[in-house]
Each structure stands twice: as C-alpha cells, then as structure tokens.
C-alpha cells in the first residue's frame, strides 16, 4: 500500500551550475502530472511527464526542474557578441561627436546584458536532459520511498480501525439477537395494560413475534459486513494501487451498516450503528490518501 503524498528531490551538476529536481505528490482520484521547466527547455516536458507517469497510478504529482547558479557568481560567463558590436558602434559615434574617446565600464557591460552568467537559454535541451534524466529518476525513487513509508502508516491505521468495526459488528449481533425477545415482552406488557391479556403461547402472539423477528433479522447484513471487512484487510496487504478498491469497499460497508440500522427497530442497536458509521467515515477519509 502506498500513500499519494510524498516528496523527493535530487541535484545534478550542469556546466558550472546545478540542476535541481523536486517531485511532490498530493491526493487526487485520477493521475495528474504537472511539470514546471525553464522556458528554454519546454520541449522536455513530454519526456519528464512520461517518465514520472510510468511510476505512479493515482494522485497529482508536481515536478519542478530548475537551474541554480552559485550565489558567488561562479557560473560560466558568456559574451553577447551582437550586442557588443552594436555598443561599439554607438560608442564610436558618441566619441566622434564629443571628440573624446569613450570606454565602457564592466558594470555597464553587465547591466546591458553583454556579459552575463550562463543561463538556461545557453544550454541546449539535449544537454539539459542528459543531466535531468538521472536526477529525475533519483528524485522519483526518493518520492516513491516516502510514499511507501507513509503507506505503511496508513495501513496500520486502517487495519486498527477495521478491527474496531469488527468489535462493533460483534456488539450489533449480540444486541440484535435479543430484539425479538424484548419485543415480545413489550407486546405482552401493552396487551396486559390494555386489558387484553393473552397467553404467551397464543397462536396470534407467536405469529406476530415470528413476523417481527423476520423483519428485523440482520444476519445477512452482518455476514456480508464480515466478508467486506475480511476483503479490506487482504487488499491492504497488496503492493499495487488499491485506493479505488478500498473506497468501493467502504461504500459497501456503509450499505450494510445502513441497512442494519434501518431494520434494527431498537434504539441501542441504532446507536451502535451510528458509532460504527462514525468510525467508517474516519476510514474513508484515510482511504482518500491511498494510491
């Protein structure tokens, strides 16, 4: 079992800069891969998406790739020769008008973009991909590892709550088994209070109690409920994506609990059903994070 949330990062040297890859995931019903790249490398988006999408089956995954230069300015410096030629022509014209030589300062050359530190646009997409691909794979592995670790915690929590539902089921069965007897006692008491006392073995009493017992019988619901709980535990042990299956089982468990509550005809049993539904809702919330 894997969680849909996680994070992974990796770096790779690229010329005198560092290529940084960050991958983060959040829960979604379907698979979504969002890629953020420097504009100069936009053509790599499909390759990045394909690489990441092949490793996940559910959730939104955000991939960010950036080029980080050293704060000290340790990147490669490049000269924009066309801009330099244009500047030289302008300065020659100014020098002629002033009859005085004009020399550009280094600060001016930097501000005008004639001398600049190497940027994404100076690196071809092919060169960038050679460094990005292994970094993406490394970040993706870290991302998947964290998802697996988070998934283990989710599994433990879900199994603990399923065990709680098992206990509620036993309480439901115990309470439901006494419903016909309590109804008989109430029926006999009402008849006596109404001045219509009848013997317990009266055929009409027996028929009424039998019909009532059939209407409020929840044995089928509790049997199916046990089957759903067993399936839930088995599926939690699978390594594949199980989120959708668990979500479906939650719906089926809710159906059985709901039917049990509607057939109960007993206040305490109905309260037990409400308590079990509350626990089930916590399970459903956790399942929304499972891949």
Note the pLDDT tens digit of each residue in 104-117.
888 777 777 676 55
CA distance 41 to 19: 12
Report the first-to-last Cα separation within the chain, whole angstroms.
Answer: 7
Give the best-scoring range by mean pLDDT among 43-47, 116-120, 124-128: 43-47
> How confident is the model at residue 50, as a pLDDT?
92
> How confident is the model at residue 210, as a pLDDT?
63
Angstrom CA distances, 100 to 59, 72, 92, 93, 106, stand at 67, 36, 10, 11, 19
Answer whether residue 275 shows pLDDT above 90: yes
Answer whether residue 71 shows pLDDT above 70: no
Segment 137-166 shows an average pLDDT of 94
Segment 116-136 shows an average pLDDT of 80
Proportion of the chain above pLDDT 90, given as a percent: 43
Phi, psi of 40 (to 5 degrees): -65, -20
Kindly provide the b/e burial profile for residues 195-232, where b requires at least 16 CB atoms within 10 angstroms of the residue's own CB.
eeeeeeeeeebeeebeebeeebebeebbebbbebbebb
Q: Are 283 and 158 in contact (CB under 8 A)?
A: yes
Q: Are 63 and 35 in contact (CB under 8 A)?
A: yes
Strand boundaries in 114-237, DSSP class E: 115-117
> Is residue 241 helix, strand or coil?
coil
Answer whether residue 77 shows pLDDT above 80: no
Answer whether residue 219 shows pLDDT above 80: no
Segment 280-289 shows an average pLDDT of 93
Rounded to the nearest integer, the mean pLDDT of the chain is 83
The hierarchical CATH code for the domain 148-287 is 1.20.120
Q: Are 95 and 88 in contact (CB under 8 A)?
A: no
CATH 3.30.230-classified regions of the chain: 6-72+124-146
> Is residue 133 helix, strand or coil?
helix
Pick the residue with more confidence: 158 or 73?
A: 158
Q: Which CATH number fits domain 6-72+124-146: 3.10.450, 2.60.40, 3.30.230, 3.40.50?
A: 3.30.230
Answer whether residue 69 shows pLDDT above 90: no
Segment 230-247 shows an average pLDDT of 91
Please list, in sequence order, all residues whose beta carbon lies within 8 angstroms of the beta carbon of residue 83, skipping any fewer than 6 positions away. Answer: 112, 113, 114
Structure tokens at 245: 């299956």
The neighbouring-strand residues paired with 34 are 62
User: Among residues 206, 212, 216, 208, which one has the least CA distance to residue 176?
Assistant: 216
Please list, in sequence order, all residues whose beta carbon lies within 8 angstroms of the beta carbon of residue 131, skipping any fewer than 6 positions away. Answer: 12, 13, 14, 19
Answer whether residue 38 shows pLDDT above 80: yes
- Cβ burial of 283 (10 Å; 0-12, 13-18, 19+) is buried
Answer whether residue 280 shows pLDDT above 90: yes
Q: How many other C-beta atoms are found inside a 10 Å radius of the C-beta of residue 97?
A: 9
Answer whether residue 245 shows pLDDT above 90: yes
> How confident is the model at residue 72, as a pLDDT?
42
Answer whether residue 76 shows pLDDT above 60: no
CATH 1.20.120-classified regions of the chain: 148-287
Q: Are 263 and 218 in contact (CB under 8 A)?
A: yes
> How confident is the model at residue 29, as a pLDDT?
83
């Amino acid at each position: 079992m894997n969680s849909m949330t996680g994070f992974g990062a990796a770096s790779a040297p690229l010329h005198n800069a560092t290529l940084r890859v960050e991958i983060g995931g959040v829960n979604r019903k379907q698979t979504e891969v969002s890629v953020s790249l420097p504009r100069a490398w936009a053509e790599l988006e499909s390759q990045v998406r394909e690489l990441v999408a092949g490793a996940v089956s559910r959730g939104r995954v955000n991939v960010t790739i950036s080029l980080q230069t050293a704060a000290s300015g340790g990147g490669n410096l490049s000269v924009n020769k066309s801009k330099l030629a244009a500047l030289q022509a302008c300065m020659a014209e100014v020098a002629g008008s002033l009859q005085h030589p004009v020399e550009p300062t280094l600060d001016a050359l930097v501000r005008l973009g004639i001398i600049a530190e190497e940027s994404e646009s100076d690196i071809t997409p092919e060169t960038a991909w050679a460094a990005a691909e292994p970094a993406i794979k490394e970040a993706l592995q870290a991302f998947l590892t964290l998802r697996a670790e988070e998934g283990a915690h989710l599994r433990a929590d879900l199994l603990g709550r399923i065990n709680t539902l098992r206990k509620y089921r036993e309480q439901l069965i115990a309470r439901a088994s006494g419903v016909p007897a309590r109804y008989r006692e109430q029926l006999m008491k009402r008849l006596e209070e109404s001045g219509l006392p009848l013997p317990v073995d009266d055929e009409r009493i027996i028929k009424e109690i039998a019909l009532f017992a059939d209407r409020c019988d929840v044995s089928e619901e509790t049997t199916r409920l046990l089957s759903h709980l067993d399936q839930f535990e088995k599926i939690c042990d699978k390594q594949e994506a199980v989120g959708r299956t668990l979500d479906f089982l939650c719906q089926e468990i809710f159906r059985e609990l709901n039917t049990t509550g509607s057939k109960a005809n007993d206040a305490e049993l109905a309260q037990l059903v409400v308590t079990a539904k509350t626990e089930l809702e916590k399970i459903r919330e956790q399942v929304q994070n499972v891949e």
